[in-house]
């Protein structure tokens, strides 16, 4: 039996999200096409409500909590973007939000979650630590846990992005997607393979946090000791229990990119597309714009997954680039 998220669940999520999220633009640049030797379409989720695609899954999950009227607070663990998305969605449904973030989380992301009225708690440094903390808190009566990726409603929400890509670029032959815990790619791959099975789905991880790549090599979920990358949304140390079988079934190829390539790509996206993208959001583009990439001659949709970058971090990146 297929592990994929059913197309009907993705359609239901689309209906739930209608009027709440933006239909984000798909951007093109002749210069970048020439650089890649391919036709590229950049799906710009940096322009999404809350600054990343995460609102799709979080809102879809939280929308179903009305069936549990005892719930008054949602809790989650997040490096930032999912936290922001949960905080936004909770506010829309009149619920409180408690967000567990890693020590050293991006101040821009933390401030944004707090601005939506969430309580933010710093805890540990690895995804495993903060997930355990959030799950423990969720045992409190009246609390409900909103998983960042390993959940069918979250994946169905992220899958709506795949449906939008197929509509915006009907003759696409490849879709390139960043991977953290794997919820985004699991949702997108489910949508794409349901409607257009011949379209290739490619996942991209930072070289310092390639949990899905290592797991595929091993044929089972492998947990890395640490995940190290400037792409803070992609440093998850192990793919999800639910997301990994979908990745195995529906993702055709897994690639890794270096932090240097991500940094260079952020500047290319600023100068060529005039868009501000966070490191995690630039990883898929880095895989396509790097020398020796396998996409020449193809028609490629590239997911730009988020744009929440700290101004100070941006200045550091500029300095590092010229060092
Ligand atoms: C900007 C951005 N892109 C991609 C991802 C990866 O998403 P997933 O964990 O669903 O693979 C994240 C996760 O936080 C993110 O913040």
Q: Ligand 1 pocket test: pick from 42, 44, 45, 54 the residue with the most ligand atoms within 8 Å of its Cβ.
A: 54
Q: Is 305 a catalytic residue?
A: yes
Of 178, 244, 277, the one to substitute when testing ligand 1's pocket (max ligand atoms within 8 A of C-beta) is: 178
DSSP 230: S
Asked if 162 and 192 touch (Cβ cutoff 8 Å), the reply is: yes
| Ligand 1 midpoint to CA 184 (Å) | 7
Tell me the per-residue pLDDT of 273-310, one tens digit each, with 9 for 90 and over: 999 999 999 999 999 999 989 999 999 999 999 999 88
What is the signed CA dihedral for 30, 278, 174, 157, rounded to 10 degrees?
-130
**C-alpha distance from residue 250 to each of 5, 11, 16, 165, 185 (Å):** 11, 19, 25, 17, 9
What pLDDT, on a 0 to 100 scale, did the predictor assign at position 321? 67
Q: Give the model's pLDDT for residue 264.
A: 94
pLDDT for position 127:
73
Q: What is the pTM of this model?
A: 0.96
CA distances from 98 to 55, 82, 142, 164 (A): 16, 12, 12, 31
274 labelled catalytic? no
The residue among 119, 125, 123 whose CA lies nearest residue 134 is 123
Bridge-based pairing of strands 39-44 and 26-27 is: antiparallel
Ligand 1 atom with minimal separation from the 187 CA? 10
> In the numeric block, which tokens belong to residue 87?
């905080």
> What local confidence, expressed as pLDDT, does residue 195 receive?
98
Q: How far, in Å, is the centroid of ligand 1 from the Cα of 239?
A: 12
Running along the chain, 323 residues long, what does each successive block of 10 average in pLDDT? 96 98 97 98 98 98 94 90 95 96 82 92 87 94 96 98 98 98 98 98 98 98 94 92 98 97 95 96 97 96 94 77 62
Tokens representing 309 are 């970058």
What does the pLDDT look like over 75-94, one tens digit per residue? 998 868 999 999 999 999 99
Residue nearest to atom 14 of ligand 1 (CA): 233
pLDDT at 125: 87
Catalytic, out of 43, 54, 109, 193 = 54
**Contact between 159 and 188 (Cβ < 8 Å):** yes
- Residue whose entry in the numeric block shows the structure tokens 């890693």: 102
How far is ligand 1, taken at its centre, from the CA of residue 54, in Å? 7
Would you state the pLDDT for residue 265? 96
Paired strand residues for 73: 96, 143
Q: Do 155 and 5 meet the contact criterion of CB atoms below 8 Å apart? A: yes
> Number of helices (H) and strands (E), helices first, in the chain?
13, 10
CA distances from 170 to 21, 142, 196 (A): 22, 45, 10
- Per-residue confidence (pLDDT) for residue 79, from 0 to 100: 63
């Amino acid at each position: 039996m297929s592990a994929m998220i059913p197309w009907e669940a993705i359609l239901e999520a689309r209906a739930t999200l209608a009027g709440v999220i933006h239909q984000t633009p798909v951007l093109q640049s002749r210069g970048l096409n020439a650089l890649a030797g391919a036709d590229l379409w950049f799906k710009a989720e940096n322009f999404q409500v809350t600054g990343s695609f995460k609102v799709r899954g979080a809102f879809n999950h939280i929308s179903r909590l009305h069936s549990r009227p005892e719930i008054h607070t949602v809790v989650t663990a997040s490096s930032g973007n999912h936290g922001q998305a949960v905080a936004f969605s909770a506010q829309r449904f009149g619920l409180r939000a408690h967000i567990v973030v890693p020590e050293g989380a991006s101040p821009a992301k933390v401030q944004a979650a707090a601005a939506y009225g969430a309580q933010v708690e710093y805890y540990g440094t690895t995804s495993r630590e903060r997930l355990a903390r959030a799950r423990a808190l969720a045992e409190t009566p009246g609390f409900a846990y909103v998983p960042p990726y390993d959940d069918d409603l979250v994946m169905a929400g992220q899958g709506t992005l795949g449906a939008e890509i197929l509509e915006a670029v009907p003759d696409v032959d490849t879709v390139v997607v960043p991977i953290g815990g794997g919820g985004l790619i699991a949702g997108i791959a489910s949508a794409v393979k349901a409607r257009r099975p011949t379209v290739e789905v490619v996942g991209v991880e930072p070289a310092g946090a390639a949990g899905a790549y290592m797991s595929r090599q091993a044929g089972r979920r492998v947990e890395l000791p640490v995940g190290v990358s400037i792409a803070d949304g992609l440093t998850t140390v192990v793919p999800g229990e639910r997301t990994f079988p979908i990745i195995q079934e529906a993702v055709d190829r897994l690639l890794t990119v270096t932090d240097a390539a991500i940094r260079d790509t952020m500047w290319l996206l600023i100068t060529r597309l005039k868009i501000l993208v966070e490191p995690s959001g630039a990883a898929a583009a880095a895989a396509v714009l790097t020398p020796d990439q396998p996409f020449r001659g193809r028609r490629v949709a590239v997911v730009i997954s988020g744009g929440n970058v700290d101004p100070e971090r941006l200045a550091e990146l500029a300095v590092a680039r010229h060092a």
